[in-house]
């Protein structure tokens, strides 16, 4: 197997869109960080970390904000030709 098959894919457009959207929602945009790892089923997993007080704002009522962010970022990932899973991590 080559390194390209074992290493997670890159998704610069999806990461940029994710960072932008999350920074617009939170009170402390400097604390936003996004890391990439290989997720389940070969998808690229994007882990989002925010300040403790901002997690509720990112998730929203009944998870509507988080679901909306996931939908938009998955659409942006199509341009990168990858499938992504987004996790909001404490």
pTM of the model: 0.86
Average pLDDT over residues 6-16: 77
pLDDT of residue 55: 95
pLDDT of residue 7: 43
pLDDT digits (tens, 9 = 90+) for 47-86: 999 999 999 999 999 999 999 999 999 999 999 999 999 9
DSSP string covering 20-86: HHHHHHSS-GGG-EEEEEE-GGGPEEEEEE--GGGHHHHH-GGGHHHHHHHHHHHHHHHHHT--EEE
Which CATH number does the domain 3-89 belong to among 3.40.50.150, 1.20.120.80, 3.30.300.20, 3.40.50.880?
3.30.300.20
């Amino acid at each position: 197997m080559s390194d390209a098959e074992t290493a997670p894919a890159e998704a610069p457009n999806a990461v940029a869109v994710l960072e932008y959207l999350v920074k617009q929602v939170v009170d402390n945009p400097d604390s936003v960080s996004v890391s990439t790892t290989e997720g389940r089923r070969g998808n690229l997993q994007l882990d989002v970390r925010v300040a403790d007080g901002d997690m509720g704002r990112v998730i929203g009522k009944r998870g509507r904000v988080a679901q909306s962010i996931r939908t938009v970022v998955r659409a942006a990932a199509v341009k990168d030709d990858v499938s992504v899973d987004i996790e909001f991590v404490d």
